[in-house]
Amino acid sequence: TFCESMDSDQLQPLLEPLMCRLVPLLDHRLLGIREMAAAAVGSAAVAASDKFGPYLEGTAPRLAAMVELGEERAWELRGRSLEALGHVALAVGNGKFAPYRDTALRAAAANLELDSTELAEYSYGFFANCAKVMRSDFGPLLP
């Protein structure tokens, strides 16, 4: 989370080496490592803002796959990945995030059906970020 206190210009020279180290960690065999990597990717997206675009393809598909993990022992990773996707959406905008939006929205809705207040909190945060990114396009998605 060190990069959340930086603006995008301060982070710019560090972003490439940081992401080169984080992206492989999203595929690590240990859930805890993947959780921390997902959280760090989300932080980097927040700090990098519109400069995060080049890292979308390396991160979003991995994060989108993790929001669908069903095992209870992976729920924290599922939530962190959803949170990170919300931050990525804010960074890259509605158009670029569109290929990942439906998967993430389905996972966020499914989280509300599970017996986990933590997953529900991650889902509400994701919905808030989607609403910011999608603006009036978010309304029709509401029940």
pLDDT tens digits, 21-35: 999 999 999 999 999
Q: Tell whether the torsion through CA atoms of 74, 62, 114 and 40 is positive or negative.
A: positive
pLDDT tens digits, 56-114: 999 999 999 999 999 999 999 999 999 999 999 999 999 999 999 999 999 999 999 99
Cβ 45 vs Cβ 84: under 8 Å: yes
pTM of the model: 0.93
